[in-house]
């Protein structure tokens, strides 16, 4: 007789067993994918709640800086953190540093002559500093919006002025870089590093690196929100990783806390979204081999129905349907 799992078994199953492909597939095949999703989401929300309580308990904290590598789920994490801060009777305002990108045509080049989107100098630091200084002084600013399709920064009439009890939640790959916060009092800052930290094992010995999760997230997101072919995203990945090691990872130890954005079920969910677009990568392009490797990883996992994923989920940032994108 086959062993069956329900939602009640998650408390007793060893952590290493939970994070293996056979366990995940068994749960899905036995009809308990929804249970696995709900437990994964609840654990993540519980951790966010604890972070929000730490921030709210310190009256000096007026700015939260949330950083992490590409496709770590920073945007959704910042917005969900804002909700948790509201339950602590705070008034948070989420800002994405992406909106202060310089125009794509002006992006600095790396040592290989390719655009270095991970460089701190891809951010308009002068304008960012001016806007944050104005906000901290109680002045109103015009908020920029970066258009990832056109590669241009735009102003669409959105304004912001900080009032009493407001907390700025600023997210971006460079948020922990000291160059970003040099004009903000250190005592007023709470720093968070967010990234997938829990890899999935195929057999207890071979592990799927979390960089694979992030690349699959990025491919899924870029196709639907930025109009980019998967081979373009794959072609940029080496440059992205070099930039992360140079500009982002050196500052993660400065964080006050680390938030794990891994989702136990995410490869099963990403298969549904990423598999069709990866299958469309032609065998005539250099990125075909990587696309086939990614397909191999995905096909180890049984797909799950994306309708089962809550619209507040971090994963919705990449598969679509996030409530935070509404309106």
Token duo for residue 199: 């890899």
Distance from C-alpha of 305 to C-alpha of 271, rounded to nearest angstrom = 10
- 197 with 19: CB under 8 angstroms? no
Token duo for residue 45: 């929300």
Token duo for residue 59: 């009256």
Pairing of strands 152-160, 141-147: antiparallel
Which residue from 101, 96, 94, 143 is spatially nearest to 120, judged by alpha carbons?
A: 101
- 274 with 231: CB under 8 angstroms? no
Distance from C-alpha of 195 to C-alpha of 214, rounded to nearest angstrom = 9
Residue 111 DSSP label: T
Sequence-separated (6 or more) residues with CB below 8 Å from residue 16: 201, 204
* Cross-strand partners of 123: 101
- 55 with 64: CB under 8 angstroms? yes
Token duo for residue 41: 């989401």
Distance from C-alpha of 71 to C-alpha of 150, rounded to nearest angstrom = 20
How far is residue 278 CA from its own chain's centroid?
Answer: 21
Token duo for residue 317: 């940032």
Domain 7-325 grouped into CATH 3.40.50.300? yes
Q: What is the pTM of this model?
A: 0.91
Count how many Cα atoms sit within 13 Å of the Cα of residue 216 in the half-sphere of its side chain.
29
**Structure confidence at residue 113 (pLDDT):** 86
Token duo for residue 15: 């952590």
Where are the extended beta strands (E) located within the chain?
Answer: 63-67, 91-96, 141-147, 152-160, 166-171, 189-195, 200-201, 207-208, 257-260
| Tens place of pLDDT per residue across the chain (327 aa) | 345 545 455 444 334 445 789 989 999 999 999 999 998 999 999 999 999 999 999 999 999 999 999 999 999 999 999 999 999 999 999 999 999 999 999 999 888 888 888 899 999 999 999 999 999 999 999 999 999 889 999 999 999 999 888 999 999 999 999 999 998 999 999 999 999 998 988 887 788 899 999 999 999 999 988 878 999 999 999 989 998 999 999 999 999 999 999 999 999 999 999 999 999 999 999 999 999 999 999 999 999 999 999 999 999 999 999 999 864
């Amino acid at each position: 007789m086959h062993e069956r799992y329900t939602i009640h078994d998650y408390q007793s199953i060893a952590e290493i067993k939970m994070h293996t492909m056979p366990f995940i597939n068994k749960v899905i095949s036995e009809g308990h994918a929804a249970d696995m999703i709900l437990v994964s989401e609840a654990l993540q929300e519980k951790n966010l709640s604890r972070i929000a309580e730490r921030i709210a308990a310190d009256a000096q904290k007026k700015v939260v800086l949330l950083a992490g590598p590409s496709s770590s789920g920073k945007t959704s994490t910042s917005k969900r953190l804002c909700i948790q801060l509201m339950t602590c009777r705070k008034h948070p305002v989420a800002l994405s540093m992406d909106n202060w990108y310089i125009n794509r045509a002006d992006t600095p080049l790396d040592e290989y002559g390719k655009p270095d989107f991970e460089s701190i100098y891809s951010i308009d630091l002068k304008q960012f500093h001016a806007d944050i200084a104005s906000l901290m002084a109680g002045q109103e600013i015009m908020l920029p919006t970066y258009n990832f399709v056109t590669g241009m920064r735009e102003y669409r009439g959105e304004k912001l002025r900080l009032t009493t009890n407001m907390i700025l939640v600023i997210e971006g790959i460079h948020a922990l870089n000291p160059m970003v916060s040099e004009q903000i009092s250190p005592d007023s800052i709470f720093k968070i590093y967010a990234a997938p930290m829990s890899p999935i094992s195929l057999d207890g010995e071979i592990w799927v690196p979390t960089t694979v999760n992030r690349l699959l997230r990025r491919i899924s997101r870029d196709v639907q929100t930025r109009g980019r072919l998967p081979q373009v995203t794959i072609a940029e990945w080496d440059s992205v990783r070099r930039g992360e090691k140079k500009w982002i990872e050196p500052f993660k130890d400065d964080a006050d806390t680390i938030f794990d954005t891994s989702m136990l079920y995410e490869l099963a969910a990403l298969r549904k979204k990423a598999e069709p677009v990866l299958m469309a990568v032609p065998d005539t392009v250099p990125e075909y081999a990587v696309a086939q490797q990614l397909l191999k990883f995905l096909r180890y996992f049984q797909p799950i129905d994306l309708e089962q994923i809550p619209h507040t989920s971090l994963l919705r940032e990449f598969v679509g349907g996030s409530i935070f994108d509404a309106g």
